[in-house]
Amino acid sequence: MEMEDLIKKFKEYSTQDTTLLELAWNFSKEAHAQQKRASDDLYFTHCQAVADILAGFRMDQETIAAGLLHDVLEDTKITPDSIKKDFGPEICDLVQGVTKIETLKFSSRDVAQAENWRRMLLATAKDIRVIVIKLADRLHNMRTLNFLTREKQLEISHETISLYAPLSQRLGMFQIKSELEDLSFKYMHPDEFNSLSAKVQLRFAKREKLLEDFKAVLETQLAPTQIPHRILARAKNLFSIYRKMEKQEKPFEDIQDALGVRIITDTVVNCYALLGMVHSVFKPLAGSFTDYIAVPKMNLYRSLHTTVMAPSGELVEIQIRTDEMHHTSEYGIAAHWRYKMGEGGKDAHLNEKLNWLRQWMEWLQDLSSPREFIESFKTDLELDQIFIFTPKGEVKPLPMNATPIDFAYLIHSDIGDTCIGAKVNNKMVRLDHELKSGDICEILTRRNSAPKKDWLGIVKTAGARSHIRKYLREHGQPLE
């Protein structure tokens, strides 16, 4: 890839002047001139690839320039002052946010690793683009992992699947999440990966005809409505199938892997109109409908989900969404950056959409040790959600296995602090009771009641944990 190719790609979606990109390209190329990667390629090829991935996300010029420069502080003699002088404070902050810290100051490698994550995420809370660059960097490293030792492959794959893939899912970047999971799976379980890959291809070839027939029937029914739409087939990532096999303890042949299609349209109203059409033609599977448009997931994901029976007897999972929802589900937070640019100014909703991330970072900052930070971080990345109702019928999303205490703090910190009990579906339950989707939870409170230290071992959310710790600290109670 040459500089002209990157500029051409950038100009397909942006009218920004590209002087900064050209400067960053030449600066990085010169800074890394003497360095090579494990593949024996020039090190600069990695910087090019990261910039190319970022242009694929349609990021702004400053982000792509920072992508080109992301390793100069760590791997060359270039200083932050030099970056600031040539590229300004914004790009300097992005590059410093992505740069790893010196591991020499720490007692062990995993404490250093945890501190790296803490630092990177704090930089992300200030500017979300830091994490987008870091994910592009990790994606290219995973694509070129075959040149490293087996030990290094396993170490990097483990970190990727336990932290980077869930983080990209939490940020709504499903395209990256799937590729990171499948690449990690390939190195962690090579035999299972190769075997499953062959089986999935064979099954897909057999079912392609069923999918085409289903799409044809659907098109015939939808055409007269004149509702604008397009139908896309949906590929399942290998790791999610593997995880399903493990969870259900079944071989691949016994996994009910439904065919998947997406219907993309222009407006929310048309999403519901298309859903009505689909259900009038195909029998829906009882209990399979979920409305993530009315109640979006924590990571901004929105779609209607339903499963129907095709004429062939096969089950087909259908997702119905608008173009904007589709962009968000592929690129997540990067898509919002893109919309912000496209409108020539700040997206009024961008800050609101990212508030949960900033709030979450404030909660995690409260933890005393880097290792505790990482453990809390991993828990909060678990994205399997449940939906709990208040007695007034409001819906609140929580992670799986959340408790009434988590629910109380989600409603308000005062309700959490004074919680003494809970009713779930009108029955008294213990405070460590695991909530299930659809439960109606009522929190019982008493003035002058206070959080207990043992609640820290019960709660599942960073928000609840942070509020409890804060209360205990302010009232002179030891946390350890």
Contact call for residues 176 and 182 (beta carbons, < 8 A) = no
How many structural domains does the chain have? 3
User: Angle at CA 343, nearest 5°, toward 348 and 303?
Assistant: 70
Same domain, residue pair 295 and 426:
no
Q: Which element (helix H / strand E) includes 171?
A: none
pLDDT tens-digit series, residues 300-359: 788 999 999 888 788 888 999 998 888 877 777 776 654 444 444 444 455 555 666 666
Q: Is residue 237 part of a domain?
A: yes
pLDDT digits 0-9 by tens, 131-144: 889 999 999 999 99
Radius of gyration of the chain (CA): 24
Q: Cα 361 to the chain's mean position, in Å?
A: 15
* pLDDT at residue 120, as a whole number: 76
- Does 265 map to a domain? yes
Q: Cα separation of 76 and 93, whole Å?
A: 17
Lowest mean pLDDT among 59-63, 250-254, 267-271: 250-254
Q: Do both 305 and 439 map to the same domain?
A: no
Q: Is the pLDDT of residue 105 over 60?
A: no
pLDDT above 90 coverage of the chain, percent: 41
Question: How confident is residue 450, by pLDDT bands cut at 50, 70 and 90?
Answer: very high
Contact criterion met (CB below 8 Å) for 477 and 451: no
Together in a domain, 119 and 200: no
pTM: 0.76
Are residues 12 and 130 located together in one domain of the fold? Answer: yes
- CATH code, 195: 3.30.460.10
Q: Distance between CA 442 and CA 426 in Å, rounded?
A: 8
Active site includes 75?
A: yes
Q: Are residues 229 and 277 in the same domain?
A: yes
Angstrom distance (rounded) from CA 47 to CA 136: 10
106 and 195 belong to one structural domain: no
Torsion of CA 91, 93, 97, 98, to 10 degrees: 20
User: Sorting pLDDT into bands at 50, 70 and 90, what band is 420?
Assistant: very high
Task: Give yes or no: residues 141 and 257 share one domain.
Answer: no
Q: Which of 5, 30, 41, 74 is catalytic?
A: 74
Residue 315's domain comprises 190-331
At 58, the pLDDT band (50, 70, 90 cuts) reads confident
The yes-or-no answer on residue 191 being catalytic is no
- Which listed residue (30, 75, 375, 454) is catalytic? 75
Residues 279 and 389 in one domain: no
Q: Domain check: are 225 and 356 in the same one?
A: no
**CATH assignment of the domain containing 118:** 1.10.3210.10
